[in-house]
Chain A
Amino acid sequence: MNQREKEEYLREYAILKTQGKPFWPYAVAKDSAMACVVMAVIIAMSLVLGAELGPKANPTTTTYVPRPEWYFFFLFEVLRVIKPPSLVPLATIGVPTLCMILLFLLPFYDRGPERRPERRPIATATGIAVIAAMAFLTYQGANAGSPTTIEMSTPSTVTHTGGSSLAEYEAGKKVVAQSGCLACHKIGENGNSGPGPDLSHVGARLYRQAIARTLVNPTAPMPSFKNLPPQKFTAIVNFLSQLK
């Protein structure tokens, strides 16, 4: 906006303002009506949906699915979509930081005098696209649960050996399924593909010790599993190292 456009805007706005109505009581009445609606909605949601309280937090648990509040689902989903580990920092902080900077600086790079949405096609289209993308990602994030069972055929090497090896495998499969790994990892046809890497053949890529080390000291955002009871931890390592 140049000086002429600024002055023109201020002049037109001054005229519109003199033709308007005073804030009290006209705008206040509308605002109060809206406040009553907001209050009614909050009270209705509280009465209908209540406030559930889950079981107490337990750092040694193996049955949890980390779920953020629903309005962070879109962020969660961005994490899931961008898979390569080198790009994870970009997805978690890079993209949101960039969006925030763009949002902050909006009035400084969009300096045109036009205000009508239909005459600002780029801004309006971008706005609608962002809303649609966030709605889509939220929907995806809301539906991406994590299964608590793993259904896959036992590898032939394990079935051949049989005995204790098979028992270890089955125990580990159960712990892995209950530990929420599938919220971020894919194992065979189970779980979500991302943000974590596919674990279907992790045993071929990493030794037992490497798997154990990763579980104790993982790459963020994965939580550490070092507080697990030792036998459960061993079961996980046994199971994963047999996935070849």
Chain B
Amino acid sequence: MPKLPKLPAPPLPAALQEAPPRPSEGKGPSGPLEDAKQAGITVVDWVDERTSLSGATRWLLFRKVPKGTNWFYTLGSATMFAFLSQAVTGVFLAMYYRPDPAGGAYESIRYVTNDVFLGQFVRGMHKWGSSVMVILVFLHMGRTFFFGAYKYPRELNWVIGVVLLILTMVMSFTGYLLPFDQRAYWATIVGVNINGTGPLIGPYLSDFLRGGSEFGATTLSRFYAIHMLLVPGLLAALIGAHLYLVAKLGTSAPPWQKVEKRSELREAEV
């Protein structure tokens, strides 16, 4: 019997037709892993719909870093990492510290050093972290200077960097007093007196630092407030501005990096 051609199936109403798979469902495996992925995508989409942060993140992470950048270019981020380490260890020290010269400052540091679990370790990290940060700041500045990276269009970023250097030094100067041992006390007296010899604002600056014409009870709390509220806030904000400009202007290329013109570009030039 000759085979008869099959008739096409009668058209089904749309409500009965099988819906094509949604693009996100695909043919892939479905299981808890897939569900978790979907949940993640949903959450990220929800946040992005309300903040449009994905564009900024893409701009920050997938910008290209020019050819030839080497390990010298990690010094800046290493400095920032040292700052973060100082911030974290500093928070833990602040949990125990009492800025009271009459009885408290020295005792609280002694308590942290001798009695608190890992106290001496955290204080050591904060103490030596400051040296590491200062060294890294100077190395980062040296790299920028010798590579000529402060030139057009990155002049403003250099200026912000110098402010960050000064603020780092202020941090180290104010932090030196806080343990309130002999060394801290006398070094700070001499340091404040040195400030006082400055032209014009010198005497006012040292009066402001001491909280009066004498080294007294307010001096320590003043140094404490400057060390853990004022300057860290300024540092964090300026690091943000510094990073924004790096991302905006691009990481500078090493000065001896040659531009290799690709053949199609050369042909186009002719």
Contacts and interface: CB of A to CB of B under 8 A. Distances in A.
Interface of A: 1, 6, 9-10, 12-13, 15-24, 26-28, 30-31, 33-35, 37-39, 41-43, 45-47, 49-51, 53-59, 61, 64-72, 75, 79, 88-89, 92-94, 97, 100, 103-104, 106-108, 110-117, 120, 123-124, 127, 131, 180, 220-223
A20 B182 contact: no
A110 B151 contact: yes
Interface stretch (B14-22, B30-38, B61-69, B228-236): B61-69
Q: Is the interface of A mostly helix, strand, loop or mixed?
A: helix
Interface string B59-87: 01111111111010111011001100100
B26 to A, nearest CB: 26
A65 B186 CA distance: 7
Contacts of B253: 13, 16-17
Nearest to B128: A45
Given A31-B77, A51-B120, A56-B106, A115 B255 contact: yes
Nearest to A183: B190
Given A50-B124, A220-B193, A221-B190, 17 more contacts: A6-B152, A15-B259, A16-B66, A23-B62, A23-B63, A24-B61, A30-B74, A34-B77, A42-B82, A54-B183, A54-B184, A68-B191, A71-B131, A71-B172, A92-B197, A104-B162, A107-B155
B176 interface: yes
Nearest to A126: B145
Nearest to B129: A42
Given A17-B250, A38-B82, A51-B123, A22 B180 contact: no
A220 B196 contact: yes
B186 A97 contact: no
B194 interface: yes
Contacts of B125: 42-43, 46
23 contacts: A17-B66, A21-B67, A24-B62, A31-B77, A34-B77, A38-B82, A42-B125, A42-B129, A45-B131, A51-B113, A51-B120, A53-B110, A54-B183, A57-B180, A58-B182, A68-B190, A69-B187, A71-B134, A106-B145, A106-B150, A108-B155, A220-B196, A221-B196
A114 B150 CA distance: 11
Contacts of B158: 106-107
Interface residues of B, number: 92
A141 to B, nearest CB: 13
Given A1-B151, A16-B66, A16-B253, A42 B61 contact: no
B81 to A, nearest CB: 4
B194 A57 contact: no
Contacts of A107: 150-152, 154-155, 158-159
Contacts, number: 250
Nearest to A91: B197
Contacts of A223: 186, 189-190, 193
Interface in B162-190: 162, 165-166, 169, 172-173, 176, 179-187, 189-190
Contacts of B77: 31, 34-35
B74 A34 contact: yes
A33 B73 CA distance: 12
Contacts of B149: 115
